[in-house]
Structure 1
Amino acid sequence: MPLTRRTLLHTTALLAAAAATAATGTAAAAGHPRGRIPHEAISIQLYTLRTLLDEDVPGTLRQVAELGYRSVETAGTHGRTAAEFRTVLDDLGLRATSGHADLDGGVDALIEDARALGNRQVVVPHAVFDTADGWRAFADELNEAGRKCRAAGLRFGYHNHDHEFAPVDGVLPYDVLRERTDRRFVHFELDLYWAVHAGQDVLALIDAERDRIRQLHVKDRAPDGEMADPGTGTMDFPAIFAHARSACEYIVEHDQPTDPLRTAGVGFDYLRTVRW
């Protein structure tokens, strides 16, 4: 058939529509439709519920599941082995998609526990060093652990507090980690509260390492600077979430909640309903 201008325009329109459909399908497959957080991308850091878990693991996790969560991020197993903790999660339809673990016991043990728990991602939750060289050596340690985790099929990351944004020997530890860790092996779990508490521009942090920020800890900040349940404080989460397009997991957390289960419920409801 002759390629008339009308045919050309029609064909171009069809191709554009097909491309748009494919792009939308890719975004949906990645689990992050524009303007909202998918249910499966919402999690909670169980450190928020540690006092309750120390008393009753099955009962507390049952209440987490009843709130609507499907995923959790572990921070220890509260007197149970990793396999035993996993059994409780499985019985309740929960998945420990991520876990906090330090490197003190060695990377092999970390990987073994992560596999038993069913983690897809493992995150070092805290580190402090008095010198820039200490942070540089730690970054090298993260690289080595990240290589081993990647070989084991796990993503490996680091979670910040506020002290990484205070100069040590004239440099920011966060910048040392950014510049010295290998992006192939080490991602960042950005704790939004601690970054803002340290006076950082969160949007600028995301711009600097957009493809490496794979997880967000979602905790709010009250007008007096204290932590608050997500959606009840001063932080502009819609703007942050719109900016953090590569984040794959949004994790509710509060370090010192007065009512852990209420925090869990408020956080889940907020992330399910927030739009941008």
Structure 2
Amino acid sequence: MDDNAMNGLSRRHLLRTAAAGAAAVGLTAALPATAAAVDHPRTRRIPKDRISIQLYTLRDVLREDTEGTLEALADIGYRSVELAGTYGRSATEFRALLDRYHLRATSAHVGFDGADVDQLIEDARIIGYSVADCAWANYPTIEEWTAFAQRLDRAGEAFRKAGIAYGYHNHAHEFQPIDGVRPMDVIAENTDPRNIHFEYDLYWVVTGGADPVREYWRRFGRVRQFHVKDRAADGSFADLGEGTIDFPEIFARTWRGPMKQYIVENDQPRDALRSAQVGFDYLSNVRF
């Protein structure tokens, strides 16, 4: 075995060890927060096939060791992931890595403005995901938001005709009015529900001053994915169950509706593999 191969094995061993070490800490941290959030016994749970993780959480370790990080996620128990790029691999190469570790991409963050939508659709078919989302947009005027929504709808129609659901992922600013109008409402009202669904990032909904449950019912049927991201008391990012967001209450009050993905994410993790482990344990064990 050459030195490069040996180094790769060593890195993967370290990643697996780090993930395993985080397991006990993660489960311990997650369960008390769950208990504190629930004031009576609840028995509903999230099916494990709906639990995923946004790979943006692990972007630094994925750049360092893509294969070892994917192996570590599989060891934690993940069976699906949401993509945010392929780390220098082609669609075919990345699909092969996912297959090697029995992972599947159920969704991906895919920007359409300035992109070749036909190529994006082809990549989705190769990698195997049937859900994609526009991850970011920000404009200073409602007129620009309206024009964006119209472009988004056209892209969503192209994805839909190819058998791929296309959606929009929010941050905080979409819930904050411009001249009395919220950009999120502009997006919703200028897109066809057949073409555009919503991936609600719960941290950013709360940070934007909105109520996730109220927003879910306001757009009932269009919210198909949750980014499950916790918020510390000072407004910073927290691992699941270690922050202030009452996820059991949100999940209980939004269970009705289309099948959803519950996607672990931490934008600025101190230890990405710990965040992945804690997140998986929390969503696997939370009752609501």
Partner of 2:261: 249
Deviation at 1:107, TM superposition (A): 1.5
Residue matched to 1:97: 106
Q: What's the counterpart of residue 145 of structure 1?
A: 155
Residue 130 of structure 1 deviates from its aligned partner by 1.4
Shift of residue 106, structure 1, vs aligned partner? 2.5
Name the amino acid aligned to 2:275: T
Partner of 1:213: 223
What is the CA–CA distance in structure 2 between the aligned matches of 1:109 and 1:129, rounded to whole Å? 26
Deviations 1:93-137 (A, max 9, x none): 000000001012132122111112111101000001111111111
The answer as to 2:58 corresponding to 1:46 is no
1:175 counterpart (185, 192, 201) = 185
SS at match of 2:225: strand
Q: Over alpha carbons, which structure has the higher Rg?
A: 1
Query: 2:274 maps to which residue?
Result: 262
What pairs up with 1:107-118 in 2 under 5 angstroms? 107-118=117-128
Higher mean C-alpha deviation, range 100-109 or range 81-90: 100-109
Is the contact between residue 254 and residue 263 of structure 1 (CA under 8 Å) also seen in structure 2? yes
Residue 238 of structure 1 corresponds to 248
Cα displacement (A) at 1:170: 2.9
Which residue identity does 2:99 align to in structure 1?
D
Structure 2 unaligned spans of 5+: 1-42
TM-score by length of 2: 0.82
SS at match of 1:48: helix
What residue in structure 2 maps to residue 84 of structure 1?
93
| Structure 1: gaps (5+ residues) | 1-33
The answer to whether the 8 A contact 1:48-1:260 is kept is yes
Are positions 1:36 and 2:45 aligned together? yes
Distance 1:194 1:231 in 2: 16
Query: Helix, strand or coil for the counterpart of 1:211?
Result: coil
2:138 is aligned to 128
Equivalent pairs: percent with the same residue? 55
1-structure distance, mates of 2:130, 2:91: 14
TM-score where L is the length of structure 1: 0.86
Q: CA RMSD in A?
A: 1.0
- Letter of the 1:275 counterpart: R
Aligned residue for 1:30? none
Structure 1 position 183, deviation (Å): 0.5
8 Å CA contact 1:206, 1:243 repeated in 2 = no
**What secondary structure is seen at the aligned counterpart in 2 of 1:158?**
strand
The Cα of 1:39 is off from its aligned counterpart by 0.6
2:213 is matched with which residue? 203
Q: Secondary structure at the match of 1:147?
A: helix
